[in-house]
Structures are given as structure tokens and as C-alpha cells.
Amino acid sequence: LLYGNQIGVYTSPFFYRFGLGMRSDLYTPKYGLSFRQENNMLFIQEFNRGNLKKSTLYNTYLTIPADLKFVLNPKYKDYEGVKYLDNRKHQLCLVLGVYGAVRVGTVNYSKYSNENSGRIVEREKVTHGVNDFIVGGKFGISYYGFNLFIQKDFTPAFNNNALLKKKYGLQIGIEIA
């Protein structure tokens, strides 16, 4: 869900947009390790209940982004004597933004086998070690509806109850408008 508009007059190269969206983060520890949750702590430990096939931690957030877009090479058109910025032309843009997110849920997923079964799947709700709110910034370069962006979390995704070394998120991606 996204809303955007032009700032100022019809020839202004500045636009704003804000919206509502979902963000899903996937964390995978090194082979043979899995996420564990004990005594209100979240940590990574060697898996010892069988032959581990897959271990991941899924974080899901409801996000509210706010962006400012600047058109670097504006192209204009005239319509009934008024000059307008033509949004249908191929234009190069810079995008700067901030976002806030509220955690909706976190699930620890483990898939393994042992001597009793060839396939065991466990899904455990994570209640400790993950921050409920995150805030971050975004920088992107956009051309003809494709936005190459970098997002950096200013607050860590994991709190002090998580015994992890890297707690801040960095995302690189492509956004299609």
C-alpha cells in the first residue's frame, strides 16, 4: 500500500511517498548450528538432536516507510499551456527515506532427521531476544520504475537477550514500482 505526490508546483522535481508494507527477514546460521531459546535468551548452538537439514529464524515486521524522491533529469510536457513534469518518461531519480517497523512474529524453524524418523519439522515461536520495534534509513537510485536500494537498520533487530555478534540489519534489493 503506497501513496505519493509531487511537492510544490507541477514542474517540481521533488516527490514524497509513504505507505504500509510487510518485511520478512531470514537468518540462517552456519551449517550444523541452530537457533536455541532457553532461560529468556536467544543464541546459536550446535544441533545435537539428529542430522540437521535446515535451520532458519524468520522475523516478520509491519513497516511504515516514508521516502523523498528527487528527479535528476526531469522531462516536461505542455498541456493546455501549462508545463508539467512527465512521469511517463524514463527518468533517473535519487530516493532517500526512513522507515519504522513493528514486529508481527518470529519463528524458529528446524528440519532434521534421526534414527526414528526421516523427516522432523519443528516450528517454535520466539519470545525473547528480538526487538519489537526497528527504525532505519534507505538510499536508492531509480530508473523507469526500478529502484536499486540499500536499507540500514538504525536500531538492532536483536536485543540484549540475544547472544549474537551481528545484530544490525543491512538489506540490498530491487523495488519495482
Question: Is pLDDT at 173 greater than 80 in this prediction?
Answer: yes
pLDDT (tens digit per residue) in 42-68: 999 998 888 888 999 999 999 999 999
**Per-residue pLDDT, 167:** 82
Calpha distance 7→59 (Å, rounded): 35
**Per-residue pLDDT, 81:** 87
Cα–Cα distances in Å, from 49 out to 46, 113, 120, 136, 163? 10, 8, 10, 38, 21
* Residue 133, all three cell numbers: 520495534
**Per-residue pLDDT, 22:** 93
pLDDT (tens digit per residue) in 4-48: 888 988 888 999 999 999 999 899 998 889 999 888 899 999 988
**Per-residue pLDDT, 150:** 95
pLDDT (tens digit per residue) in 78-123: 888 888 888 777 889 999 999 999 999 999 999 989 888 888 888 9
φ, ψ of residue 19 in degrees (nearest 5)? -170, -160
**Per-residue pLDDT, 101:** 95
Mean pLDDT of 159-170: 85
**Per-residue pLDDT, 137:** 96
Q: Give the torsion through C-alpha atoms of 122, 127, 129, 135, to 10 deg.
A: 110
Q: pTM (2 decimals)?
A: 0.82
Residue type, 55: S
